[in-house]
Each structure stands twice: as C-alpha cells, then as structure tokens.
Structure 1
Amino acid sequence: MSLPRRTPRRRAWAVLTLPAALCVLAACSSGPASEGGTDAAPTREASPSPSGPPGTLFDDFHYTGADDPALAEHGWEIRTGGGGPGIKDTWGASGVGFPSDSTAQGGTVLRLRSSTDGTTQGTEQAEVQTTGTRFLNGTYAARIHLSDQPTSGRDGDHVVQTFFPISPADSSENYSELDFEYLPNGGWGSVGPQLDNVSWYKADPPDRVSHSLKRKLGGWHTMVITAMDGKVTYSLDGKVLFTSSGKYVPREKMDIHFSNWLIDLPFAGGTRTWDMKVDWVYYKADEAVSGADVQKAVDGFHSDGTAYVNTVPQS
C-alpha cells in the first residue's frame, strides 16, 4: 500500500536542558509501569568507551532516565518541538523513559508512550532520534515491542509505531527515508492491522514504493533493513518482506528515528496511552548482515557487558 505523505516533519528539535529533563524524569516515573517491568533501571553500567568493531553502532538503551548525561553523549535526542507527522505540534518528552523490563534482552528498554484524550490539547506524541552520527549504506536493525492494544484506556486510535532512518530535511535534494510502520488499527482509510514498509525518493511531491503485511504483530520482533548494492531489503524476524531498488534507495546520510504517533483523533473522551518499546538498536556500515548474524553480534555485546558502541564516523 502506498501511504499518503505525512505532514511535513521538519522539524523543531530541542535537546533537553537539565531542568527540563528533571521534569521529564518526574513525569515518566509518575506514570504507569512499563509492560513486563518497572521504572527502576538495573544497575549494570553502560560501556564507558565507544570502542568496538569498526563502522558499528549498538545501544541497548541502558540509561537511568531522560536526565542521564550519557543519553546525549551517546548521540540521542528527545523530540520536544513542533511540526508533524500526526497531531501537529504535540511532541513532548514526558512519554520517553528507560524502565527495566524482564522481557528485554538487555534488561532495559527505550519506552515511547503516546497519550491522548481525543483532543489536540490532551495529546502528546513521542519520538527519539540520533544526532551527530549519520548513516547510509549498510544494515539497520532493532528489536521492537509493538502494541495491538493501548496500555490503558479505550482502543481504536489510529496509532503508528515506527523505526526508520530519514534525511535531516524533507526539502533535501537527495531525500531518503526507509520505513517500518505498524498500524494496529489501520489509518488513512485502511482498517489494519498492518505493517508497512516504505522506501522514499521524494517527500514533496510524494514519490515512494511500499508493501503492507496484514497481520497482528503485538509483541517483540526483530526488524532489519539492509541498504546495499543498489537495493533495500526489509526483513521481520528473519523473513524478507519487501525489496526496493532503482531510485528507491538511500542517496544521502540519514538519522535513525523511533516514533510513536497518532494519525488523527477518531474519538474524544477518556485518556488512553499507547506504548512502543525498543530493546536495542544495531547498525553496521557498508555490510549486508543477516538477521541471524545481527543477533550473534548483539549476543556478543551483551555477553561482554557492553551496553553501547559507536565506531561509525561522525558526519
């Protein structure tokens, strides 16, 4: 399915100041606990050194909270600015946390919690992106927990749970974007559930190719994107879903994003929350790495007690 282009996202980002981050931490800790865990992070320390295999990013999101200095030091930013997609200008930081989770391989998760009461004023969407280091050809992978129902409140929202590398600006001449987007309740006229993969050539006017997997996918999944040798391949749990080629391949370096947002507000009344969780993220520059070999690499980092590596050249 070829999706309608989302509203322009670019992009008033803001790095959290310490006072703001402390407020975020308080907000996160006052909310409901993460599914399968608590808001108290384990005591295992993140690796103090970014040393590791060349051209590699790995992070298992072992942070104490939004005010952890290592979060920014490791090249992550929480979105608090305006713009789209979804409900415009409703991006906030209170839904971003790093709770412990017994179902996560590394013991903690990046939790993205979006909430709404059906009004724009009562809506907050959540997104986190990389900064400093940008990524082009190679393998992108993440273990992500998708939600088929809200964590609390009434079901029925058109929520989008996403993992995607994207150009720094929608207006870029060499615009590039590669999407995993899960819509448990559908949207844009589709009833769902569905997982969409979309490879973009241009944002405006929209020029992209896409594929939809029509299936419920609540729970943990490993998502892999390989961009090598003039083609992009999307895989889920080791199974190839879609391949794009020709002009629908990355043409410039991109940031990695995780986002949990709402297409629209189909009904008002009663607050509901939607959680998306990320166990770990992995990138290997200029190599097509199979899902099995991605997992071997991740297992190796965990067995060594390594929570973070970034040897990808900054750009």
Structure 2
Amino acid sequence: MKLSMMRGVFFRTSCLRVLAVALAAGLHLVFSPAFALGGGEQRAAASAAAAVPAKAGFFFDDFNYPDLAALKAGGWTPRSAAGHPGVPGAAWSPEQISLVADPQQAGKRLLRLTAQTDGTPAGTQQTQLCHARKYLEGTYAARIRFNDQPLRGVDGDPVIQTFYVVAPLKHDFDPEFSELDFEYLANGGWGSEKTRLYGITWQTVKLDPWQAFNQSHEEHGSLDGWHVLMMQIADGKTRLFLDGRQLAQHGGRNYPVVPMSINFNLWFSPGGLLPASSEPRVYQQDVDWVFHARQQVLSPAQVQAEVERLRAGGVARVDTVPAAEPALASHCDF
C-alpha cells in the first residue's frame, strides 16, 4: 500500500475511533475547523481530539459556529419577546446577534451582541441570547469584552452589558425565583453616574412598583476590554469572581432553588437615555466562550485549564449537562 493511502486510512480510522468513544460516552462534541485540515495537521488534530476525555456534566461553547442557524441548533435562543428589562416599548431584536471573526485568533469566531437607541422607545433595539433552562449548582464562567464607548454615535446612554443565569418570575415575590447576575454599567445608571460592575444574587422581586430582595456587590472603575467572569454555586453559598479574583460571597435566602438558563443580554436602563437624535447610538458586547461544570466547584485556574484543554483538542462545543427532570421550557423573555 502506498504511503499516502496508508495515511488516509490512518486518519479515517482515528476519526472513527474518536467519534465512537464520544458517542459511547454520550458526549456531544463539535470539532473546530482545524479538524478539516490536511496531512500532518489532520493527524495532529485527530490525536488531540482523541486525548480529550468525555466528562459528565460539562457545558462549553466556543461560538465557532458557521452561521446563526448552527448557533440555534446548538441550543441557543435569540430573544424576540417584548418586556422586562430595559426601555418600555423597545424591541428585542434577534437580528442584532451575529458571529464575527476574532482578529486575535485565526480561524476563531466570537459571539457579538449589538444594541442601539436613538433616544426613543420605537428607535431602541436590545439583544438577548439564552441557553436551555437546566443549570443550577456548579461553576459558571464566560470570557466577555465590555465596551465603554459606543461603536457609533455620542456616548452617554445607560447601557447594561451582562452575563447571568435566571429562572422565570411566575408572579410578584415568587419564592422560587432564582437569578445571579453580572451587569456592567459603563455609563452609570440606577441613581449613580459611576462606571461599575454589579454582582447580584436574588431572592425575589416585584417589578411594578419595584421592590427587590437581593444581595449585591459593586466593583467600581472601567472594565473596557476582555474579562473572565465566574460564579460558583454550592453548599448554600454563591461566590463571584472577576479575572480570577473573588469579589463577593452571598448566601441565605438569595441562594438559587430551581434550574436556570444561561443568558447574555445588552440593554438600556429605562431612565436616563440621552435626548432623541437622528443618529442612533450603537453599542456592542462580544463573548469568546462560556463554560459550566454541573455540581462541581472549580477554581478560576481549573476553569481556564479546562477551556484550554478543550480548545487544544479542537473541541468547539460540548454539552453533557442533562435536561431538568421534568424537562423545562426555555423561554427567552426575562
């Protein structure tokens, strides 16, 4: 047999073995475009992927999808439903979600959320993306790029850039309501002009008139650029981390009690919009990756190691987190 034919047989056999191991373990793997390379690169990618063991209870997404249809097939739901939070009468626009090339990593894509306002409810478009409602205790993390200034238009609108997990609020003061947030206010808002990051854990809330029961931490100062946000939920306590540094520990009645969905959204505070103008103010938030380890408390270093391990193996997405029992509808509307 010719050497080139032997190489082809070896590569196909390696691929089949990798897929067989993954399927036998119930692991949903999506390999990055590097897995479609040729020659020695094919063998290197196959070998690296084969070295990635199937771990139960992990969710990881590198957002390396070819298009938005593939993003939705990966379990993500863009929001179109009107309502809280944000500017009353504003639209939640799925068209404001995109996948863009990462200028810092060849062959890599980023998730991009875009929101804009001209100062009026009708001229305001907000953005939200949600994953299945099946997450509760464990470790959550995401690498996000915050922006202090708009892509276009004058600066100053109270824009909110987020990463959070949430369960529906069925009624005022719902005792099963569960939510943990990271919310970055680049231009201030909510009674203060200070630039700050909020870390919030919720007990319950009444939306109108507003009455909230929660714990919060404020981290003041600009976070323009890339950051890793992390939450640990275990043993009746929640811990919030920024770039590997613990910011706060909450607990008690603010501890989540029902499965939640993973969310990103970009919206405007209902108070404090700049005056109406002919040129809209456009803001963006990028997401590099998101990670969850079910019922496991991982340190920031351990999370980073897992992300690097998966990426080195050419794995762009993995989901071995079981559905809630009974299964829960995942409405992207809060």
Give the TM-score, by structure 1 length: 0.81
From 289, 309, 314, the counterpart of 2:318:
309
Aligned counterparts of 2:323 and 2:106: Cα–Cα separation in 1: 28
Match of residue 295 from structure 1: 304
SS of the aligned residue for 2:150 comes to coil
Retained in 2: the 8 A contact 1:60–1:106?
no
Moved more, 93-102 or 167-176: 167-176
From 39, 52, 55, the counterpart of 1:53:
55
| Cα deviation digits, residues 193-231 of structure 1 (max 9, x gap) | 000011000022411010101110000000000001110
Aligned counterparts of 1:190 and 1:65: Cα–Cα separation in 2: 39
Structure 2 residues not aligned, in runs of 5+: 1-31, 37-48, 325-334
- Runs of 4+ that moved beyond 6 A: none
Q: CA separation of 1:106/1:296 partners in 2, compared to 1, >3 Å: closer, same or farther? A: farther
Q: Quote the offset at 1:121 in angstroms.
A: 1.3
Match of residue 259 from structure 1: 265
AA in 2 matched with 1:311:
T
AA in 1 matched with 2:146:
L
Retained in 1: the 8 A contact 2:139–2:230?
yes
Q: Does 1:197 find its partner at 2:210?
A: no
Q: Quote the offset at 1:302 in angstroms.
A: 0.5
Retained in 2: the 8 A contact 1:106–1:302?
no
Moved more, 199-208 or 102-111: 102-111
Match of residue 141 from structure 1: 141
Give the TM-score, by structure 2 length: 0.77
| Cα deviation digits, residues 241-291 of structure 1 (max 9, x gap) | 111011111111100100000003232112111000110000001111111
Match of residue 290 from structure 2: 281
Q: Does 1:71 find its partner at 2:71?
A: yes
Aligned counterparts of 1:118 and 1:65: Cα–Cα separation in 2: 31
Q: Quote the offset at 1:73 in angstroms.
A: 2.5
Q: Quote the offset at 1:185 in angstroms.
A: 0.5
Aligned counterparts of 2:186 and 2:265: Cα–Cα separation in 1: 15
Q: CA separation of 1:174/1:223 partners in 2, compared to 1, >3 Å: closer, same or farther? A: same
From 224, 227, 238, the counterpart of 1:221:
227
Aligned counterparts of 2:176 and 2:281: Cα–Cα separation in 1: 38
- 1:126-205 equivalence runs, <5 A: 126-131=127-132, 133-171=133-171, 172-204=174-206, 205=211
Q: Quote the offset at 1:84 in angstroms.
A: 1.6
Q: Quote the offset at 1:45 in angstroms.
A: 7.2
Aligned counterparts of 1:105 and 1:307: Cα–Cα separation in 2: 14
Aligned counterparts of 1:170 and 1:106: Cα–Cα separation in 2: 43
SS of the aligned residue for 1:98 comes to strand
Q: CA separation of 1:75/1:169 partners in 2, compared to 1, >3 Å: closer, same or farther? A: farther
SS of the aligned residue for 2:95 comes to coil
Q: Quote the offset at 1:170 in angstroms.
A: 4.6
SS of the aligned residue for 1:257 comes to strand
Structure 1 residues not aligned, in runs of 5+: 1-41
Match of residue 209 from structure 1: 215
Moved more, 213-222 or 162-171: 162-171
From 242, 246, 253, the counterpart of 2:248:
242
Aligned counterparts of 1:104 and 1:210: Cα–Cα separation in 2: 35
Retained in 2: the 8 A contact 1:179–1:199?
yes
Aligned counterparts of 2:153 and 2:81: Cα–Cα separation in 1: 26
Retained in 2: the 8 A contact 1:157–1:262?
yes
Retained in 1: the 8 A contact 2:61–2:290?
yes
Match of residue 7 from structure 1: none
SS of the aligned residue for 2:322 comes to coil
Q: Quote the offset at 1:119 in angstroms.
A: 1.3
RMSD: 2.1
Retained in 2: the 8 A contact 1:168–1:255?
no
> Quick check: which has more Rg, 1 or 2?
2
Match of residue 231 from structure 1: 237
Retained in 2: the 8 A contact 1:199–1:208?
yes
Q: CA separation of 1:187/1:105 partners in 2, compared to 1, >3 Å: closer, same or farther? A: farther
Retained in 1: the 8 A contact 2:169–2:177?
yes
Aligned counterparts of 1:306 and 1:129: Cα–Cα separation in 2: 21
**Equivalenced residues, count:** 269
Q: Does 1:95 find its partner at 2:104?
A: no
Q: Quote the offset at 1:43 in angstroms.
A: 4.8
